[in-house]
Amino acid sequence: MKPATERLHARAERLDAVPLATVVQYLHQEDLRAVRAAGEQLRAVARLAQAVQRALAAGGRLIYLGAGTSGRLGALDAAECEPTFGARRGQVVALVAGGRRALAQAVEGAEDDARAGAKALRALTPGPRDVVCGISASARTPFVLGALAAARAAGATTALVTCDPASRTRVDLPVRLNTGPELVAGSTRLKAATATKLVLNAVSTAAFIGLGRVYRGRMIDARARNAKLRARSQAMVAELTGRTPAEAGRLLRKAGGSARTALAMHFTGLPAAAAAQLAATRGLRALQPRRQTR
């Protein structure tokens, strides 16, 4: 039996016979279904985010693995965690069937090799502190299934984000998205990918918020490595402390460019090293003056 993502959509037969404006309308309607599909799985997504938070807090990793579009989505989410949340290098990683070359171009045959998936996963020496999250629209990708089997054998927590609601793949934390057939049959770069990206965004963002990497809606651990991000950090510190931009800039320089440390210095009056230690152990919410607590 075909997975849901491979079946023919009710509008498919006339898709190439209607005006392009109508095609665009259809695509948008399918995108809305992707959002609904993610919304139907919020409990499962929350469970996965909580598992990732626990893993990262314990020194473990979030390891994504996938092929084709699914693999690229995992790589995208992993790449954003360091600059956005100050994740350590290697704390969130992605394995893509076909390796780095597959990030820029299709390496179609790579997804069929279960042994390659298992080998790539074992090379990361996974263990009980890690969460290994497979991404497969059909839940049938051999590369992903092989890697998940290796993860189970290593004692890691396993997860699967799939767009086949009938999937019974053996994992600890399944997220089964009911996106239905694609307008272009089998083209899971469409709404299946949209729903999957929503889930991955939610998992990583919620996990890092739980780790205290966001304060009052701001990215306090973002790596300010260009002019735009340095200006953002300065404005952030000014907003949260009531200082002028110039004063915030001086505080940031004393803090080594860390917005978290700059805020902790402002709240406590301590020098950078001591303030950073307090912020790391107690969190900024515990350090801020009571009148600023919301």
Measure Cα distances from 272 to 38, 70, 229 in Å: 42, 42, 21
How large is the angle between the packed helices 114-122 and 142-153, nearest 10 degrees? Answer: 40
Q: How many CA atoms lie within 13 A of 280 on its CB side?
A: 10
Closest to 95 in 3D by CA, of 115, 122, 69, 66: 66
Q: What angle do CA 122, 126, 130 make, to 5 degrees?
A: 150
**Which residues are tagged catalytic?**
80, 111
